[in-house]
Amino acid sequence: MSIEVFGLNKTYKNGPTAVDNVTLSINSGEIFTIMGPNGAGKTTLIRIIATQLMPSDGHVRVCGYDVVHETAEVRRNIAVVPQEVMTYGQLTPHEYAYFFSRLHGNDARNAAKLADQALDYTLLQEQRDTPCIKLSLGQQRRAVIASALSSNASVLILDEPTTGLDPIARQSVWTALRELTAQGKTILLTTHSMDEAELLSDRVAILHEGTLLSQGTVRDVKSTIPYQYRLILDEEPEGLLGDVPTFRLGSKTILYFGTSLEATQFLQDLLEAGHSAEVTPTTLEDVYVRSIEGQS
């Protein structure tokens, strides 16, 4: 077990409870994603795990070490990409990754190899010798990710790592993270991207107002709502919806069904009435939205 969190609480002085009795475990060699709206407590939770913030109560162990009493040991085993972080402007992406790798105890030869590999993963080889101050914000973000990838740390903690990246760069980072887990590394990340969470994660958790609403595999979490299929229309057909659970998204109407048979039968009725629609399985985003709305 790479990360173990037991009854974790964090209450700020004269402020709200940011993390409320959270318990979870993260296995070695898996990608575990924490989702939740702004203010849900995601960053507070990972800052405690990363030894950057003291808990109010509860216990956290990373690679077997307690984050409060064995801080130095924990830090030797982790690499962190915070949500808001900038590169050192005059360093190049290669220097940034190389020096970060050296700080994590890798010798010069291995650090150079790890830095090169990290630049491949983040599509920065063409900019390897360009000072970061001259790079775009997306390229600078990739340089920060490359530094974490070059660390060879057992656990990577990434707070919304792909925000601002274009789709090609984002998928390259996904590939890198998957390859690292194949090597036994553990990835803990937060994201607002539901497709990122659904496609990348071994397990996910939904956090709301500091409380875990659900956790498990994507399939497990999807099973927490009674709707397994959805039907998407470009308009709202009058007189046909009945009591079918409905969600309006701009000009589109999304209908939810418990089984594929219910969805396809309704689809047939719509087609016979001259409407066009498509049936798809529910997504993690559907679960996320309905879970959060259920707490409002």
- The 10 Å Cβ neighbour count of residue 59 is 15
Look up the pTM and report it.
Answer: 0.88
Q: What is the pLDDT of residue 240?
A: 63
Closest CA to 291 of 35, 94, 102: 35
The token pair at 260 is 């594929």
Residue at which a domain ends, from 161, 193, 222: 222
239 in the same domain as 196: no
Closest CA to 29 of 182, 232, 174: 182
Burial class of residue 116 in the structure, from the number of CB atoms within 10 Å of its CB (0-12 exposed, 13-18 middle, 19+ buried): middle
260 in the same domain as 212: no
Close Cβ partners of 248 (under 8 Å, ≥ 6 residues apart):
236, 254
Q: What is the pLDDT of residue 295?
A: 60
96 in the same domain as 236: no
Q: pLDDT tens digits, the chain, 296 residues: what are they? A: 799 999 999 998 887 899 999 999 999 999 999 999 888 999 999 999 999 999 999 999 999 999 999 999 999 999 998 877 777 778 999 999 999 999 999 999 999 999 999 999 999 999 999 999 999 888 988 999 999 999 999 999 999 888 888 899 889 889 999 999 999 999 999 998 888 999 999 999 999 999 999 999 999 998 888 889 988 887 766 666 667 787 777 777 888 898 889 888 888 888 887 878 888 898 888 888 888 876 65
The number of folded domains in the chain is 2
92 in the same domain as 45: yes
Q: How far is CA 252 from CA 230, 265, 276, 278, in A?
A: 12, 20, 12, 12
Angle (nearest 5°) at CA 150 between 156 and 103: 90
286 in the same domain as 181: no
Its domain, for residue 245, covers 229-293
190 in the same domain as 55: yes
The token pair at 61 is 């162990």
115 in the same domain as 47: yes
Q: What is the pLDDT of residue 84?
A: 75
